[in-house]
Amino acid sequence: MLLLLHVLMLSLLSGGSAKVVKDFEKECGQFFANGKSPTRFPDPQYRQICQTLNDEVYYATFYNTSNRIPVYSAYKFEGIKNCTRIVKWYIEPQLDDNNASPNMKLEKDVKIQGLGDHQAINEDYKNSKYERGHLEPVFQAQSQGCADATFTLTNAAPQNSSFNRGQWRVLERNIAKNLSNQCPPNMYSFYIVTGVVPGTKIINNRVKVPSHFWTAYCCLDNNKKPHFSGGFIGVNENFPPEEKTVKDLETELAKLYKVESFEVFNYSTEPPAKKRK
Ligand SMILES: *[C@@H]1O[C@H](CO)[C@@H](O)[C@H](O)[C@H]1NC(C)=O
Ligand SMILES: *[C@@H]1O[C@H](CO)[C@@H](O)[C@H](O)[C@H]1NC(C)=O
Ligand SMILES: *[C@@H]1O[C@H](CO)[C@@H](O)[C@H](O)[C@H]1NC(C)=O
Ligand SMILES: *[C@@H]1O[C@H](CO)[C@@H](O)[C@H](O)[C@H]1NC(C)=O
Ligand SMILES: *[C@@H]1O[C@H](CO)[C@@H](O)[C@H](O)[C@H]1NC(C)=O
């Protein structure tokens, strides 16, 4: 009886835990290298999301409600899993109603007044020239559930369709293919952060079109020391993204976001200097 009560209370407690959270480093820090999130801006329009589908948490997103696009999504990469693309786009109920479900939901299943006030909805992308470009891509998802959970509009931003299907897609695949052997999950942990920089265009008078897409990866060994890292940034058109060290990417992002500094990974991630004999 006592046990039953205990279980009931626990389930009530966890059922109430919001997925738009105050501190995603605390609530879903497992998706950040060393448990440290990239730079978070303090202004009130930002939200921290532990991306949850059917009560499983799959990755983390820092979201800008003013632009109705994310700033970045952070996730672990555990090798190429050949997940199926199931194209059903979700939204985040808690962005428009704190008391709503902690799970991402299909728009048709959400009855909230003012749905879309603080986030993009599918309608915004209709008749725009842009596609719903994934930040965390299906190709890098670590399970089918995770692949399904990447189809949420809080993990997407208006992307040039040639870029989405062209150079950016090639990059997502190359990172996964080239680097997974060099960072096997039994010896290392592989973290990726993918983000966008807001541009000047707006679709449907509501959703900002990014000027750039960027991505950075970091492979940590079992002592949490960086084994290797790197990054890419590309304008939102179909050109090959430019390769950069994480440091140089951070410097460029600080400029583009017009902030003093921007940190993707919370310590020096330059590959260790080669030892001289
Ligand atoms: C968030 O949106 C506001 C309003 O458009 C913009 O000024 C700001 O630069 C955005 N922040 C980021 C990090 O993209
Ligand atoms: C994914 O597909 C590739 C190519 O067909 C195959 O080599 C690999 O073993 C598959 N991986 C998994 C986890 O099924
Ligand atoms: C991956 O390999 C391809 C083909 O060898 C190469 O062109 C590309 O630059 C590599 N990309 C990354 C991200 O390492
Ligand atoms: C998308 O990129 C292509 C190739 O770079 C360019 O020709 C096209 O105008 C772009 N589309 C939009 C809507 O900006
Ligand atoms: C890591 O984050 C802390 C704050 O959590 C900050 O004070 C520190 O400067 C960061 N470390 C590096 C190497 O950037």
DSSP assignment of 97-110 equals -TTS-SS-EEGGG-
* DSSP 8-class letter at 224: S
Q: What pTM value is reported for the model? A: 0.91
Whole-angstrom CA distances from 252 to 35, 50, 69, 192, 265 are 24, 27, 20, 18, 14
Give the residue among 103, 98, 15 at the shortest CA–CA distance from 57: 103
Tell me which ligand sits closest to the C-alpha of residue 133: 4
Q: Residue 90: in which H helix or E strand, if any?
A: strand 90-91
Atom nearest to 46 CA in ligand 1: 1
Residues with Cβ within 8 Å of residue 248, at least 6 apart in sequence:
231
Residues with Cβ within 8 Å of residue 188, at least 6 apart in sequence:
219, 220, 221, 222, 227
Tell me which ligand sits closest to the C-alpha of residue 81: 2
Whole-angstrom CA distances from 263 to 37, 154, 167 are 9, 21, 25
Identify which of 41, 45, 48, 64 to mutate to test ligand 1's pocket (most ligand atoms within 8 A of the CB): 64
Q: So where are the chain's domains? A: 26-274
Atom nearest to 178 CA in ligand 3: 1
* Annotation: CATH topology of 26-274: Extracellular Endonuclease; Chain A (3.40.570)
Contact in structure between 151 and 88 (CB atoms under 8 Å) = yes
Going residue by residue through the chain (277 aa), what tens digit of pLDDT does each one get?
444 444 444 444 444 455 999 999 999 999 999 999 999 999 999 999 999 999 999 999 999 999 999 999 999 999 999 999 999 999 999 999 999 999 999 999 999 999 999 999 999 999 999 999 999 999 999 999 999 999 999 999 999 999 999 999 999 999 999 999 999 988 999 999 999 999 999 999 999 999 999 999 999 999 989 999 999 999 999 999 999 999 999 999 999 999 999 999 986 555 554 444 3
Separation between Cα atoms, residue 102 and residue 18, nearest integer Å: 5
| 103 Cα to the center of ligand 5, angstroms | 31
pLDDT of residue 266: 84
Contact in structure between 171 and 241 (CB atoms under 8 Å) = yes
Identify which of 77, 78, 82 to mutate to test ligand 2's pocket (most ligand atoms within 8 A of the CB): 82
Residues with Cβ within 8 Å of residue 2, at least 6 apart in sequence:
none
